[in-house]
């Protein structure tokens, strides 16, 4: 089984597990071994799945503004966790290919393996939810047909992304592509980099 197929199965296991309760506060119960790539992939998709539903909740026009602000803060924290998990996955790949000597004409890919995996995780969620809509009995036939057409496009994306990820990993393994990772530098969460936050700290307005 290819890496992409394995990752897809793990993502769908995470999505299935989440929807057993379908509650954003459900604790993760990661079934995979510590320090394994599988555990990282499951954790990554769990974050994505919870955030998917947080994004749904915050778009409720009747939501209390105070609750919406709390959710916005939670989504910001989730985005940081998501980025951290992507970097952990890239670190795993860096270690895996640490003994590979790139060819003298090796290329740099614009996207690292983990950021491609990030897109695959989100795509798994899109396929899951679009499939629900394509088969929702309470919806109109026109709605179901439209969603079926969109689902078919998503499944074509899945096929193409599988091929792209597996080819990228093969090219890294064969020295055709150099794996180079630039760590994400999120500024909005950092009290030293976000002007609003560091000015608040300077003025003594610390977070409660």
Helix, strand, coil: what percent of the chain each, to 5?
65, 0, 35
The Cα–Cα gap between 131 and 144 comes to 9
Confidence band for 208, pLDDT divided at 50, 70 and 90: very low
The Cα–Cα gap between 90 and 87 comes to 5
Three-state SS for 1? coil
pLDDT tens-digit map of 6-24: 999 999 999 999 999 999 9
Contact yes or no for 110/178 (Cβ under 8 A): no
Residue 123: partners with Cβ closer than 8 Å, 6 or more residues away: 154, 157, 158, 161
What are the extents of the domains in the chain?
Answer: 3-206
pLDDT tens-digit map of 153-183: 999 999 999 999 999 999 999 999 999 887 7
Confidence band for 191, pLDDT divided at 50, 70 and 90: confident
Rounded to 10 deg, the angle between the 141-173 and 113-134 helix axes is: 160
């Amino acid at each position: 089984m290819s890496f992409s197929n394995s990752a897809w199965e793990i993502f769908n296991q995470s999505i299935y597990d989440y929807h057993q309760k379908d509650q954003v506060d459900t604790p993760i119960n990661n079934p995979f071994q510590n320090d394994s790539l599988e555990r990282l992939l499951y954790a990554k998709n769990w974050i994505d799945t919870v955030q998917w539903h947080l994004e749904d909740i915050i778009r409720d026009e009747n939501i209390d503004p105070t609750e919406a602000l709390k959710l916005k803060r939670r989504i910001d924290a989730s985005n940081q966790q998501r980025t951290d998990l992507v970097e952990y996955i890239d670190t795993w790949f860096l270690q895996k290919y640490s003994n590979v000597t790139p060819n003298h004409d090796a290329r740099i890919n614009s996207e690292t393996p983990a950021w491609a995996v990030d897109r695959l995780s989100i795509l798994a969620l899109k396929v899951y939810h679009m499939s629900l809509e394509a088969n929702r009995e309470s919806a109109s036939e026109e709605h179901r047909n439209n969603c079926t057409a969109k689902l078919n496009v998503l499944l074509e994306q899945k096929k193409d992304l599988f091929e792209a990820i597996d080819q990228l990993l093969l090219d890294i393994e064969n020295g055709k592509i150099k794996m180079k990772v630039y760590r994400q530098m999120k500024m909005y969460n950092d009290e030293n980099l976000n002007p609003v936050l560091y000015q608040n700290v300077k003025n003594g307005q610390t977070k409660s």
